[in-house]
């Protein structure tokens, strides 16, 4: 078996290239969409399994792949291809880092309103494929809401695109929706087109330490406030310690609006910089994401305290991350959360016996989608829901 | 068909199955009236379970089915099949739950778009997507078409405001697709699939908090170019209004004739700009907007809801109004990057002159979504054909400028032939993979969106003989 002679740079894999403990044989470094296609065609001919990777910040998330012959490293495809500032649209290669993209856009007073919870090094492709929302998803939606066009390469080397370069567009199926949050299991995301927003004139955070039992009511009041916060987050690093709540206001008149929100919270200070923990994934060997209807906030906070984990996330969007270096009793947590109308997904854990995803109504349909896109099960096999 | 009809009668109460030819004909088209087909049979289910049973029966008989909400679609997405069943959701119109704390409403597909807003308006909430047909169009149809509206510039489309759908799959299974669930975003793929991936039977929508302040401005310019420059300047100033609408002289003339909207006389273009949000923010944006619109010869600001409605009246009546100045017209829907608007409008002018066909331009200027109204006299021989040529050439212009053949009306039957101009073979084949995953037998609204009927084949591997459609040359094997 060989990947030489296809015009794609390939090197032997080393121990640092392992995906969830599974060591690939090669690392491929394509430099164009055509090279990705050539590589995937060669992999198809030789039945080699492929895991795409961007910055590698979330490579330990999801189940380890059933097999992994080739790690497809997108680092060489890092160009911002087209920033149409007048149209508030950008087309970018998937290997570009979110930081580099942000810097480029800021030069024209614009931004992609997508937070990057996994921090420095995160790429456009990885941020899309993992689909983890950040604080401002409350206002701007998640990656799939800001993605307006995508170019993907399927397991057989087919290059396909959907959407386009205009925000308003309902022609054809939206493949971007399927690939956002697909954990590399349907194909390789090669390029993305996003809608942009003007950088806000000002940003202010209201930071307070409310009593735990006051948080649900405060969160509901903030969500309903006409001062329009862009985000409301809570952070509780110690399951027995205090909880910090922070609300973000963006735009003109931010100071006045932040003061209005401080009144809603019932105290706290207004600051011009985010708290240090803002928008970052909390650290811990075990990381779980809880999604829930906002009225279940109290129940979920109690469940997290009961599970003895750190917590961080948004009570207004109904999304919290729980992190611990110890054991997480997943079934008990899931039972409590599901009874409150929510879901638990274990994003990362060293424990291979855990049910990471829980029950999903659409799983049978998802399997059928996977079968059509990747009948040979070569793209990140086993990584995603239901062992897809 | 007769056997299927008998089976439907045993499945549903008498009055929910329509077979009378006269009544069937009332369903022969949707809002795109020049495509017509009398459905084989019409059913009016009252529950999701009934929809599922009808779909399973269609599977048993190998008969195609088409879903229809209020029938206001403008691309023929709900055009029936003469050899199929039309499933009308008009009797499923209950609002099942309103949960303001969680900003959710759960509704049946036949509920009208506006009914959702009306149910929560007094509590200070609304449902954001607002297609112009919102008084009558159904939320199920909105889901199928991923409907937008004048305010989607700031707030997005149906897909950004739906949290979950219970659907009947093309196999007849009831499945819930929920944004909260992990896994592929099948909900996102389903919304906007124009009825080709199944039928929504219960929809959970997100409700939005009403903004603290709304300021609606009408700016009249001497020329379309000046109006266009103002739009670019607004976006360039970092303002994202809730809506920026533009009308040209011809559409203003039509609106004036139809509803006497009282727009400033002699305007070459009017802009309707709506700012909303926190009062302090709206106030500052308005000050900026006044500076930007300094070239306008008249600027009106709505002092209250009545004046706001007066400003919107001309814009909202524009489509119907052109009936006053032309015996017949085609409503086109295309999108170009906003910065290409001046070039595209100039090219439309040239097309209009070249073919002797008048074109009135009404558009969502903020997002580059054009609605050219191509006017013709259907009594004049050849005029309809010339109008078709102009209408098609406008779509070609949209594609040339990197835009889209539809911003909100959908592909349906009307534009499927343009899909290969906008997308390559591999793009369309890849979209078909989604279709085949949901609907391997191709029974759910076949013949819409995609130009060529393709079959899905077996998955994985082995094929079981040649399909009769392939043998007869009517389809190709995928």
Distance CA B58, CA B439 (A): 13
Where does chain A have alpha helices with state H? 33-45, 98-106, 124-130, 137-140, 143-146, 175-179, 215-223, 254-265, 297-307, 330-339, 363-373
pLDDT for res A3:
86
User: Mean pLDDT throughout B458-462?
Assistant: 48
Token output for B75: 């691309």
Confidence tier at B317 by pLDDT (50, 70, 90): confident
Pairing of strands B476-477, B454-455: parallel
Q: What is the three-class DSSP state of A180?
A: coil
Q: What is the three-class DSSP state of A44?
A: helix
Q: Which domains does chain A have, with CATH numbers?
A: 9-75+372-387 (3.30.465.10), 78-198 (3.30.465.10), 203-348 (3.40.462)
A256 touches chain B (CB under 8 A): yes
A372 contacts in B (CB within 8 Å)? 433-434, 436-437, 459
Inspect the interface and report whether the beta carbons of A171 and B405 lie closer than 8 Å.
Answer: yes
For the stretch B325-369, pLDDT in tens is 999 999 999 999 999 999 999 999 999 999 999 999 999 999 999
- Least CA distance to B236: which residue of chain A? A86
A159 contacts in B (CB within 8 Å)? 426
What is the 3-state secondary structure of B93-110? CCEEEEECCCCEEEECCC
- Enumerate residues 117 to 146 of chain A having a beta carbon within 8 A of any beta carbon in chain B: 141, 144-145
Inspect the interface and report whether the beta carbons of A87 and B232 lie closer than 8 Å.
Answer: no
CA B216 to chain centre: 24
DSSP 8-state symbol, B91: T
Give me the sign of the Cα torsion angle B137, B129, A365, B415: positive
At residue B470, does pLDDT exceed 70?
no
Distance CA A294, CA A316 (A): 6
What lies within 8 Å, CB to CB, of B429 at 6+ separation is A158, A160, B454, B478
| Phi, psi for residue A272 in degrees, rounded to 5 | -100, 0
Distance CA B132, CA B183 (A): 34
pLDDT for res B466:
52
Closest C-alpha among B293, B254, B248 to residue B273: B293
Closest C-alpha among A268, A329, A342, A264 to residue A298: A342
Cross-chain CB nearest to B459 (options A144, A365, A375): A375
Cβ atoms within 10 Å, residue A42 = 22
Min Cα–Cα distance to chain A from B319, Å:
20
Q: Is B7 buried (19+), middle (13-18) or exposed (0-12) by CB count in 10 A? A: middle
DSSP string, B142-159: HHHHT---TTHHHH--GG
At residue B38, does pLDDT exceed 70?
yes
Question: Highest-confidence range of A38-52, B244-258, B450-464, by mean pLDDT?
Answer: A38-52
| Phi, psi for residue A68 in degrees, rounded to 5 | -155, 105
B183 touches chain A (CB under 8 A): yes
What lies within 8 Å, CB to CB, of B124 at 6+ separation is A224, B209, B210
The conformational region for residue A85 under phi > 0 = left, psi -120 to 50 = alpha, else beta, is: alpha
What average pLDDT does chain B have? 93
For the stretch B94-135, pLDDT in tens is 999 999 999 999 999 999 999 999 999 999 999 999 998 999
Distance CA B12, CA B10 (A): 6
Give me the sign of the Cα torsion angle A127, A129, A134, A137: positive
At residue B423, does pLDDT exceed 90?
yes
Inspect the interface and report whether the beta carbons of A168 and B411 lie closer than 8 Å.
Answer: no
Inspect the interface and report whether the beta carbons of B422 and A253 lie closer than 8 Å.
Answer: no
Token output for A150: 């995508």
At residue B413, does pLDDT exceed 90?
yes
Tell me the pTM: 0.96
- Least CA distance to A366: which residue of chain B? B184
Cross-chain CB nearest to A86 (options B181, B235, B238): B235
Give me the sign of the Cα torsion angle A291, A297, A299, A304: positive
At residue B455, does pLDDT exceed 80?
no
DSSP 8-state symbol, B121: G
- Least CA distance to B457: which residue of chain A? A372
What lies within 8 Å, CB to CB, of B81 at 6+ separation is B37, B39, B40, B64, B65, B66, B446, B447
Token output for B153: 């510039």
Report helix angle A254-265 to B279-292, nearest 10.
170
Cβ pairs A/B, distance under 8 A? 246
Distance CA B189, CA B192 (A): 7
- Which ipTM value was assigned to this complex? 0.97
What lies within 8 Å, CB to CB, of B368 at 6+ separation is A87, A166, A167, A168, B335, B336, B337, B338, B340, B341, B403, B407
Cross-chain CB nearest to B404 (options A144, A161, A164): A164
What average pLDDT does chain A have? 96
A387 touches chain B (CB under 8 A): no
Cross-chain CB nearest to B156 (options A87, A145, A161): A145
User: Mean pLDDT throughout B386-407?
Assistant: 96
Token output for B333: 């829907």
B368 touches chain A (CB under 8 A): yes
Inspect the interface and report whether the beta carbons of A386 and B183 lie closer than 8 Å.
Answer: yes
Q: Which domains does chain B have, with CATH numbers?
A: 2-88 (3.30.43.10), 95-209 (3.30.465.10), 211-308 (3.30.70.3450), 326-410 (3.30.70.2740), 417-477 (no CATH)
For the stretch B285-306, pLDDT in tens is 999 999 999 999 999 999 899 9
Distance CA B424, CA A32 (A): 19
pLDDT along chain A (388 residues), means of 10: 86 95 97 98 97 96 96 98 96 98 97 95 97 97 97 98 95 98 98 97 97 97 96 96 97 94 97 97 97 97 95 98 96 96 97 93 97 98 96
Q: Is A197 buried (19+), middle (13-18) or exposed (0-12) by CB count in 10 A? A: buried
User: Mean pLDDT throughout B11-30?
Assistant: 96
Distance CA A30, CA A219 (A): 46
User: Mean pLDDT throughout B162-181?
Assistant: 98
DSSP H or E segment with residue B272: strand B269-277
pLDDT for res B463:
38
Q: How far apart are the first and last CA of chain B?
A: 28
Inspect the interface and report whether the beta carbons of B436 and A372 lie closer than 8 Å.
Answer: yes
Inspect the interface and report whether the beta carbons of A257 and B281 lie closer than 8 Å.
Answer: yes
Token output for B231: 């739009």
Cross-chain CB nearest to B185 (options A87, A171, A177): A177
Min Cα–Cα distance to chain A from B97, Å:
14
Inspect the interface and report whether the beta carbons of A170 and B434 lie closer than 8 Å.
Answer: no
Cross-chain CB nearest to A175 (options B145, B430, B437): B430
Cross-chain CB nearest to A178 (options B184, B335, B410): B184
Cross-chain CB nearest to B337 (options A141, A166, A252): A166
HSE value, Cβ hemisphere, 13 Å, CA-based, for A46:
16
Residue of A47, A130, A155, A167 to mutate for B, most B C-beta atoms under 10 A: A167
Cross-chain CB nearest to A252 (options B103, B281, B449): B281
User: Mean pLDDT throughout B368-384?
Assistant: 94
CA A38 to chain centre: 28
pLDDT for res B472:
55
Kindly state the percentage of chain B with pLDDT values over 90. Answer: 86
A253 contacts in B (CB within 8 Å)? 278, 280-281, 283-284
Report helix angle B305-316 to B249-259, nearest 10.
110
User: Mean pLDDT throughout B2-30?
Assistant: 96
Number of H helices and number of E strands within chain B? 17, 21
B433 contacts in A (CB within 8 Å)? 369, 372-373
Confidence tier at B434 by pLDDT (50, 70, 90): very high
Is residue A30 within 8 A of residue A36, CB to CB? The reply is: yes
Is residue A249 within 8 A of residue A258, CB to CB? The reply is: yes
DSSP lists the bridge partners of residue A312 as: A235, A321
Inspect the interface and report whether the beta carbons of A227 and B212 lie closer than 8 Å.
Answer: yes
Confidence tier at B1 by pLDDT (50, 70, 90): confident
Token output for B14: 């008498």
B320 touches chain A (CB under 8 A): no
Cβ atoms within 10 Å, residue B453 = 13
Rg (CA), chain A: 21
Is residue B160 within 8 A of residue A147, CB to CB? The reply is: no
Inspect the interface and report whether the beta carbons of A170 and B185 lie closer than 8 Å.
Answer: no
pLDDT for res A1:
61
User: Mean pLDDT throughout B231-260?
Assistant: 93
Min Cα–Cα distance to chain B from A355, Å:
12
| Phi, psi for residue A332 in degrees, rounded to 5 | -65, -45
pLDDT for res A219:
98
CA B424 to chain centre: 23
DSSP lists the bridge partners of residue B215 as: B275
- Enumerate residues 182 to 221 of chain A having a beta carbon within 8 A of any beta carbon in chain B: 182, 186, 197-199, 201, 220
Inspect the interface and report whether the beta carbons of B182 and A197 lie closer than 8 Å.
Answer: no
CA dihedral B161, B165, B169, B172 (to 10 degrees): -150
């Amino acid at each position: 078996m060989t990947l030489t002679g296809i015009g794609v740079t390939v090197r032997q894999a080393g121990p640092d290239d392992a995906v969830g403990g599974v060591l690939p044989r090669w690392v491929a470094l394509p430099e164009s969409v055509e090279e990705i296609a050539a590589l995937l065609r060669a992999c198809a001919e030789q039945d080699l399994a492929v895991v795409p990777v961007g910055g590698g910040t979330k490579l330990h998330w999801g189940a380890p792949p059933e097999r992994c012959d080739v790690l497809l490293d997108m680092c060489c495809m890092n160009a911002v291809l087209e920033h149409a500032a007048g149209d508030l649209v950008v087309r970018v290669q998937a290997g570009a880092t979110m930081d580099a993209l942000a810097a480029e856009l800021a030069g024209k007073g614009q931004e992609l309103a997508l937070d990057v919870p996994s921090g420095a090094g995160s790429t456009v492709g990885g941020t899309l494929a993992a689909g983890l929302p950040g604080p401002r998803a409350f206002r701007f939606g998640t990656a799939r809401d800001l993605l307006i066009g995508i170019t993907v390469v399927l397991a057989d080397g087919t290059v396909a695109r959907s959407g386009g370069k205009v925000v308003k567009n309902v022609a054809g199926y939206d493949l971007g929706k399927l690939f956002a949050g697909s954990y590399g299991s349907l194909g390789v995301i090669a390029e993305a087109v996003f809608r942009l927003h003007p950088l806000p004139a000002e940003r202010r955070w209201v930071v307070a330490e409310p009593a735990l039992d006051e948080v649900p009511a405060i969160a509901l009041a903030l969500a309903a406030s006409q001062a329009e916060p862009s985000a409301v987050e809570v952070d509780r690093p110690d399951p027995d310690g205090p909880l910090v709540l922070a609300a973000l206001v963006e735009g003109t008149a931010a100071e006045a609006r932040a003061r209005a929100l401080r009144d809603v919270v019932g105290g706290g200070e207004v600051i011009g910089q985010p708290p240090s923990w803002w928008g970052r994934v909390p650290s811990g060997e075990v990381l779980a994401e809880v999604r829930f209807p906002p009225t279940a906030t109290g129940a979920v906070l109690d469940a997290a305290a009961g599970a003895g984990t750190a917590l961080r996330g948004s009570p207004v969007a109904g999304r919290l991350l729980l992190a611990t270096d110890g054991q997480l009793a997943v079934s008990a947590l899931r039972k409590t959360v599901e009874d409150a109308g929510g879901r638990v997904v274990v994003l990362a854990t060293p424990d291979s016996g855990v049910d990471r995803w829980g029950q999903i109504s659409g799983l049978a349909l998802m399997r059928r989608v996977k079968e059509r896109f990747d009948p040979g099960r070569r793209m990140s096999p086993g990584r995603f829901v239901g062992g897809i | 068909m007769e056997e299927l009809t008998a089976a439907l009668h045993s499945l549903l109460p008498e009055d929910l199955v329509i077979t009378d030819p006269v009544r069937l004909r009332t369903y022969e088209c949707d809002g795109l009236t020049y495509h017509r087909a009398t459905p084989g049979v019409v059913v009016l289910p009252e529950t999701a379970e009934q929809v599922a049973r009808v779909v399973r029966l269609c599977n048993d008989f190998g008969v195609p089915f088409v879903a229809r909400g209020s029938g206001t679609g403008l691309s023929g997405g709900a055009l029936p099949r003469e050899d199929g069943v039309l499933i009308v959701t008009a009797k499923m119109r209950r609002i099942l739950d309103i949960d303001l704390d969680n900003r959710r409403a759960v509704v049946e597909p036949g509920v009208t778009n506006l009914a959702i807003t009306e149910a929560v308006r007094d509590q200070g909430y609304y449902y954001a997507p607002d297609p112009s047909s919102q008084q009558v169009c159904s939320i199920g149809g909105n889901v199928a078409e991923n409907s937008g509206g004048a305010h989607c510039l700031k707030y997005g489309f149906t897909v950004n405001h739906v949290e979950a759908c219970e659907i009947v799959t093309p196999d007849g299974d009831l499945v819930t697709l929920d944004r909260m669930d992990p896994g592929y975003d099948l909900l996102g793929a389903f919304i906007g699939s124009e009825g080709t991936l199944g039928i929504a039977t219960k929809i959970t929508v997100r409700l939005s908090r009403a903004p603290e302040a709304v300021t609606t401005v009408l700016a009249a310019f001497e020329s379309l170019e000046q109006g266009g420059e103002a739009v670019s300047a607004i976006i360039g100033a970092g303002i994202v209004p809730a809506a920026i609408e533009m009308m040209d002289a011809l559409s203003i003339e039509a609106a004036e004739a139809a509803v006497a909207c009282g727009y400033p006389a002699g305007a070459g273009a009017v802009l309707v700009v709506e700012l909303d949000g926190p009062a302090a923010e709206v106030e500052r944006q308005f000050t900026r907007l006044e500076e930007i619109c300094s070239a306008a010869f008249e600027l009106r600001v709505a002092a209250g809801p009545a004046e706001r409605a007066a400003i919107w009246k001309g814009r909202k009546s524009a489509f119907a109004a052109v009936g006053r100045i032309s015996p017949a017209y085609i409503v086109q829907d295309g999108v170009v990057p906003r910065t290409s608007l001046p070039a595209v409008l100039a090219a439309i002018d040239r097309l209009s002159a070249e073919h002797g066909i008048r074109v009135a331009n009404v558009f969502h200027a903020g997002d580059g979504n054009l609605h050219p109204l191509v006017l013709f006299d259907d009594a004049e021989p050849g005029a309809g054909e010339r109008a078709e040529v102009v209408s098609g050439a406008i779509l070609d212009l949209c594609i040339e400028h990197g835009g889209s053949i539809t911003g909100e009306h959908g592909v349906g039957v009307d534009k499927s032939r343009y899909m290969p101009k906008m997308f390559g073979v591999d793009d369309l084949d890849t979209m078909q993979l989604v279709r085949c995953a949901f609907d391997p037998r191709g029974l759910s609204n076949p013949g819409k969106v995609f130009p060529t009927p393709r079959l899905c084949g077996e998955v994985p591997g082995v094929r079981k003989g040649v399909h009769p459609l392939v043998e007869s040359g009517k389809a190709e094997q995928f």
